[in-house]
Every structure is written in structure tokens, then in C-alpha cells.
Structure 1
Amino acid sequence: MTSSTANRPSRLQGPGTVLVTGASRGLGRMLAELYAGEGWRVLACARQELPEAMASMLFYPLDVNDAASIETLGKMLKGTTIDIVINNAAVRGDTGGLASLRTDDFMEVMRINALAPLLIAQALRENLCLGRRKVLVNISSRAGSLAEGTLDDDDGDYAYRCSKAALNMATVKLAQDLRCENIAVLSLHPGWIRTDMGSPDAVVDIERSARGLKDLIDTTTMAETGSFRAYDGKAISW
């Protein structure tokens, strides 16, 4: 085996195991369904039971706003091989700008969007080490880019933007810390998608976004670890 081969996640010859947080609806559900449709074992994490249409997936209760719930998930999955972890669960929070900024709302958004993915990475690190793909994905947002986040919108979502900027830094740090274990870490922007969070006015179809994200996840190597890209493959400035 050459050193270049040893230093990148391998493409699976057959389906593996993927864990998705926030899997019961929206983008998380679409990603889970795409992987399940290709025969992957899907560990679908959500606060509530999955819809009947997702019965083929393995449900794990998870409240990413609760550190104890994340710790419990890690204990439940101890020794389980996981090839891909997708940190998808997130909330928008207040959008009223500085005037309506409130401490409790801000801190909740930060806990869910920025801290929880780090705690999940901590809890499932050993599981990823057992896998062949070894990919950790943080579903971020262009709204968290200091360079591009306010170029074409002026929404007053302070908490969401700050949380995604923090998540991007978490991606960079995780990529550094997990490189020695050949775990690739990505920040991915799904686009402004038509979901409950994105609103019906959004411009990107959810399936198009999910398929684009899945293609990036499935083809990533250690050369891309620590990168920030959109669902269509375009690089996003930090």
C-alpha cells in the first residue's frame, strides 16, 4: 500500500454504515433515505420516533441540546463500526436582529449548532476509527462565512450565523486533530433549501441539495479534509 493510499478514506466496494442526526425530517431525512436506498445501514438519530416510511432504518433517540443524550448515544453505539457521521441537526433561532437578541435563545442555538457536533465527534470517534470510510461531516452554512455570509442577504439571525462560524472553526480543528487517524472532516453548505428552516421561498430543491452533498461525502479524501464546500462542489471562503 502506498503512503498516498494509506492517507485517505477508501471508497467502499459495498454499502457501509452512516449515522445522521436530525434524521426525521428535512435535509437529514433526505440524506438518510438516499443512503438507505443504496443499501447502507442507516443509524437515524432524532428526538422523536421516525415516520413509518423510514422503518427500514435503525432509530436512535437523540436530543443534541442535551449533552447527556449525546453521551448515552455514544454508550449505546460502543463497538459499532460507523463509516460516515453526518452532523445535520440544527436550529435557526431568532431572526429579529440586535434588538430582539436574547441570551437564552442565543446560547441554545450555539449549543445545538456548534457544541453538539463537537460532542458527537467526541462520542463517536472510536466508531469512526473502526470504519473504512472515516468521514465526519458538519452541515454548515454559507451564512457562517465571514467572507461571504452577508454578501446577498441581511437577515438578522445573529445566533445562527455565529453558531455556523463557530462550527466551521470546529471543522478546521477536528480536521487537524483527527488527521492522524485518517478521519476526513468537512463543512458543507446545503444551499438555501426548501425545508421548514429554509422556507418555501428557498431556491434549491432539497433532493438536489442532498444528492450533491452525498456525492461530495462519498468521494471525499484526506486531500479535502478541513474544507468548506457547497452542495454543488464550489469552495466557500471562510
Structure 2
Amino acid sequence: MTSSIDRVGARERRTVLITGASRGLGRELAALYAGDGWRVIACVRGQASFDGNIETQSLDVSDSASITALGRGLEGIAIDVLINNAGIRGDTGGLATLDDEDFVEVMRINALAPLLLARALQANLVAGEKRIIANISSRAGSLAEGTLDDDDGDYAYRCSKAALNMATVKLAQDLRKDGITVLSLHPGWVKTDMGGDEAQVPVATSAAGLKARIDGAGMADSGSFRGYDGRRISW
């Protein structure tokens, strides 16, 4: 593990930056990309150790100053793929337990932070070859499908992912001139700390599917919403 950012030979291989990489889906994605020969910049809050040649950067996505500092620290580094994976669920008790501070915090981390990261790293992405922003969203944020088989009372999480989906569409429009592809991706109900014991999709399966969607994406896919298995999800 290393926390330094080496600018020498930076374009010898493609580079991916992953937020929320200390555990769960983010950690699995970091391992997959590193195993595939990519340069991996794993953004974590606090301390984290990784096997293999994975670089770490300190990042608190709830703090706009931390995001700005990350962008400054990575100035001049070409980034091929930005994966906005960091997220929290918040309260799940429904309307009766809805808390304003909890709601705002979930929105800040799940919906606002990806926009701030896209802005902070826009020049890095333009300098890259792949030029992809992958927002890890959720079917729970789909107005058409989000409550078809799920009646959990997680108002903040659902609203934040719906907002993130709109952010994907807007970014896809605004960044098309720069040749940047922007995706919303549903990872499935993944067996992680957030997903819980009843989750159905192994983290390795979800991460492999997401990587396949990201690696195969082009401008024709920009502004789309798909599952880890490739299925198109309704907005």
C-alpha cells in the first residue's frame, strides 16, 4: 500500500479512482481493477490497508473542503474512470422517524458529493483515455421500479439516489462536450454491511458486473441507468 501519487509514468496504464473503497463494494472494485493491471487510487476516510499495489488518498465525501483538497492534490494526474461509490443509507424507520439532520447528511454524501467530485476531477478525466464517471446508484431511487418489491422506510436513501440519477443525466449533458461518459449503475441488493444479511447478490458478483458495464461503456451509453447485470432500469 502507498499513499503517494507518482506522476512519473502515469500513463503507462489506465487509472481508476474509487470513493468509499475501504470496505464492501468499493474495496472489491479496487481489488478487481488492480488485478486487471489498472492503477487504482482508493479513497478512504481514515485508515485502510490493501493487498497489492493500490494507492490510497484520504477523503471525507461529506466535507466539500476534503473534496477540493483531493482535486488539488491530484492536479496533473490523468484519470480514466471515476467511480462514485461512497454512500450511506440513513434512517429506515419511515415517516415517523424521519430526521432532518440525517436526511440532509444522506443527501450530502449520496447526491451532492458525486457532483462535487465530478467538478473537482473534471480536468483529470479530460486528460484520461476512457473518460467515464460511474455513479453507484440504486433501483431504490427509481420512481418507476423503486417500490415495486420493496417497502422499506428509507426516505433519505431513496430520495438521494433519485437525485443522483438526475445528477447523472445533467452531467451527461454538460460533459458531453468533453467526451465524458456518465453512468448510473444499480449494484443489486449486495451482501455488504449496508445490504445486510438478507441481501441476495455476492459482492464479488456485483463488482464484476459493474466493472464489465464500466469497461464496456461509451458515449452512446452516457446518461443511462443500468443494473450490474446489464439490465436497463427505468427512471
Q: What band does the TM-score fall into relative to the shorter chain?
A: over 0.9
Pick from 123, 130, 133 the counterpart of residue 126 of structure 1: 123
> 1:69 maps to what in 2?
66
Pick from 139, 158, 161 the counterpart of residue 161 of structure 1: 158
Structure-2 separation of matches of 1:48 and 1:15? 27
Structure-2 separation of matches of 1:80 and 1:37? 21
8 A contact 2:34–2:52 mirrored in 1: no
Aligned length: 224
> 1:19 maps to what in 2?
17
> 1:190 maps to what in 2?
187
> 2:35 maps to what in 1?
37
Q: Deviations over 1:168-210 (max 9, x none)?
A: 0000000000001110000000000000000011000110000
Q: Deviations over 1:28-85 (max 9, x none)?
A: 000000000011110000102222x335211100000000000000000011000000
Structure 1: gaps (5+ residues): 1-13
Q: Does 1:175 pair with 2:172?
A: yes
> 1:4 maps to what in 2?
none
Superposition RMSD on alpha carbons, in Å?
0.9
Kindly, what percent of the aligned residue pairs are identical? 66
Structure-1 separation of matches of 2:207 and 2:13? 18
> 1:228 maps to what in 2?
225
TM (norm. structure 2) is 0.94
User: 1:225 deviation in Å?
Assistant: 0.2
> 1:8 maps to what in 2?
none
8 A contact 1:49–1:59 mirrored in 2: no
Matches within 5 A, 1:49-60: 49-51=47-49, 53-54=50-51, 56-60=53-57
Letter in 1 for 2:44: A
Matches within 5 A, 1:94-109: 94-109=91-106
Structure with greater contact order relative to length (CA < 8 Å, sep ≥ 6):
1
Structure 2: gaps (5+ residues): 1-11
Q: Does 1:116 pair with 2:113?
A: yes
* Structure 1 moving runs of 4+ over 3 Å: none
TM (norm. structure 1) is 0.93
